[in-house]
Amino acid sequence: MAREIRIDTPQGRLFACSWGERGMLPPIVLFHDSLGCVALWRDFPDRLSQASGRQVIAYDRLGFGRSDPHPGLLDRHFVREEAGQVFPALCGQLGIEHFIAFGHSVGGAMAVSCAARFPAQCQGVVTESAQAFVEERTLAGIRHARQTFADEAQFDRLRKYHGDKAQWVLDAWVDTWLAPDFLHWNLDEELSRVHCPLLAIHGEHDEYGSLRHPERIRTLSSGPAVAEIVPACGHVPHREQENVVIDAVGRFLGPLAGQDGKVAAI
């Protein structure tokens, strides 16, 4: 059963959940996608915790899910700002000294940024469907989604998870990624500072990014890195092919168990 947690930050309170017990192995911290939140991970965190023997922590970014509203707009530095401003507050309040960073979609970029910023603390990175740069396929997918959510019934799906913040969530995704000054964003510099093991998971038919993304992540990472392409799978492998993802993460984390140091988890 998940344990609910509240995290204080200078901009507002975050909602978080924890699965699994305190242990000697570093916890896995989950970073959600552009429209995501804790609830949208569904039962994946619990299954991941049971399979890995590690505590799993997921949180709603500010403005998402059950966290407080965001006081402004996202800018082109929002990925780095999550790693530099929000993640340290979470680690400080939960007593996390070492961690495994796992992120889906833009959350994968945040996981990479956290690993780059805290190289001594990050023991491993898992990216799932992460974007490493701005690709036309990604922008086309966002434009299509914008049209889809113009339908009130579809927009109600966002309200179900984000309530009154739903319009902000949608605008934060669409307006940020489609802004001209975001066109040249990429993860190259952060990846060059990732020295821990890295696993890049990507669906074969990901509608928001080609296979150039996991290859770029694997190639530019400065540590040991491997890409795992999930056949017959789109943008959400942990939902579409959950067992495949669980197994891949298990194989990746297995060798790290003997290298992990003692940590203070929750």
Residue 200 pLDDT class (50, 70, 90 cuts) = very high
Residue 40 lies inside a defined structural domain of this protein: yes
Residue 265 pLDDT class (50, 70, 90 cuts) = very low
Per-residue pLDDT, 258: 65
* pTM (predicted TM-score): 0.95
Residue 167 lies inside a defined structural domain of this protein: no
What amino acid is encoded at 12 in this protein? G
Q: Which region among 71-85, 201-215, 234-248 has the lowest average model confidence (pLDDT)?
A: 71-85
Residue 237 lies inside a defined structural domain of this protein: yes
Compute the distance between CA of residue 20 and CA of residue 27 in angstroms, rounded to an integer. 9
Q: Which domain holds residue 223?
A: 3-132+185-258
Contacts of 64 (CB under 8 A, 6+ apart): 32, 36, 37, 162, 165, 169
Compute the distance between CA of residue 201 and CA of residue 129 in angstroms, rounded to an integer. 6
Nearest Cα neighbor of 130 from 171, 88, 102, 161 is 102
Which helix (H) or strand (E) segment holds residue 15: the answer is strand 12-19
Compute the distance between CA of residue 4 and CA of residue 154 in angstroms, rounded to an integer. 28
Residue 195 lies inside a defined structural domain of this protein: yes
Compute the distance between CA of residue 175 and CA of residue 206 in angstroms, rounded to an integer. 21
Residue 261 pLDDT class (50, 70, 90 cuts) = very low
Residue 112 lies inside a defined structural domain of this protein: yes
Residue 154 lies inside a defined structural domain of this protein: no
State pLDDT tens for residues 76-105: 999 999 999 999 999 999 999 999 999 999
Per-residue pLDDT, 98: 97
Residue 220 lies inside a defined structural domain of this protein: yes
Within 13 Å and on the Cβ side, how many CA atoms surround 165?
Answer: 22
Nearest Cα neighbor of 95 from 19, 183, 147, 27 is 27
Q: Residue 71 sits in a domain of what CATH number?
A: 3.40.50.1820
> How many structural domains are present in the chain?
1
What single DSSP character describes residue 161?
Answer: H
Residue 106 lies inside a defined structural domain of this protein: yes
